[in-house]
Chains A and B, each alone.
Chain A
Amino acid sequence: MPLTTVDPTPALIVVDLQAGIAPHADASVIANNVTLLDAFRAQGHTVVLVNVAGGAPGRTELNPAGGAGAIPEEATVLISELGVTESDILVTKTTWGAFGSTDLHQQLQSAGVTQVFVTGVATSIGVESTAREAHTLGYHVVTVPDAMGDLAPEPHEAAISLVLPRLSQVASTAEVVEALA
């Protein structure tokens, strides 16, 4: 279903487009993120650029020893295409979701934000987790799949078809830009 409403105070949250992770997104995904950044900044709306510096320690099937460990600093640097500006909110997380290990919720509340648009990498990890947390926190959430990338097609497609429609309105970059205008 297309985007129905843009609230007066929306925010764009771009997840983990940083040196170590952005390569999992192809050029069109990066270009769509730049398009969205331009559109949000042009309207003076809140822009949040997220990067990740570490992960949760728990044991998992895929990592039975646990401990995701710290990410090397050079891999945490945001890609230059994002064109960081002084008015952007910069957030560094150490969990999958951008809210859990940061003060992002307080910052958005202070700015009166009621709706967040979520993009970035990886669709099924940082982006999905950020969208889930935002929905739980009471935000209206819009997710933009053509501005997301993942490490493999299956988790990307599954997140978009099985998860995101339950907790967000799913829209294309073009739809969002048109709705913002």
Chain B
Amino acid sequence: MPLSILDPKPALVVVDLQRSIVAIGVPGTAEVVAHSARLLEAFRAAGHLVVLVNVDASPGGRSDHNPGGVPTRLTGDQLELVPELGRRDTDLVVTKHTRGAFHGTSLEKELAERSVTQVFVTGIATGSGVEETAREAYARGLNVVVVTDAVADRDPEVHAFVLTRVLPRFTETATADEVLAALG
């Protein structure tokens, strides 16, 4: 869907495009990286905030998928952002320790200090880091846009369901081309 409104101060949030996650090669990874790179260039050129997120851990609560409640840790090279992102000094880099980029990080404060009211989210995985970051942003009062051809998940069922049945409840969605058109 074409974007309804571009707020005066939007920010781009690129989630978990780091070596260990890109290397998994979930379907659509190459497109996610390519579209994220295009969006990064456009947001930077317009003087808008760019946030590059990576992840170094996940929570240790017991679950059906993780009955032993073992937290995971990533270190070193695994955290390195892929070079296609063309990281600049003006980019904000945020390391998260859970699925969402806001919990336990300075991201909310950094956005508030810059009067950002709208975040555009790309990255991997649709049903984990992307969705959780979008949920956290919405709960904190931000307008959220998820870029549909710049997100991917290892599970195609989850990817499709999240994009079509879940995200519309708390975000807008748009393609990379639609976002670039709105940026002008």
Residues of A within 8 A of B (CB): 1, 4-5, 56-62, 64, 66, 95-97, 100-101, 124-125, 129, 132, 134-141, 154-155, 158, 162, 164-170
Contact = CB atoms under 8 A, between A and B. Distances in A.
Given A56-B139, A59-B5, A138 B172 contact: no
Given A58-B144, A135-B59, A136-B59, 20 more contacts: A1-B67, A57-B141, A58-B142, A58-B171, A61-B171, A61-B173, A125-B169, A132-B135, A134-B61, A138-B60, A138-B61, A141-B63, A154-B165, A158-B165, A158-B166, A162-B158, A165-B64, A167-B61, A168-B61, A169-B63
A140 B62 contact: yes
A58 B143 contact: yes
B75 interface: no
B63 A95 contact: no
Contacts of B166: 124, 158
A58 B170 contact: yes
Given A129-B135, A136-B98, A155 B63 contact: no
B166 to A, nearest CB: 8
A168 B60 contact: no
Contacts of B167: 61
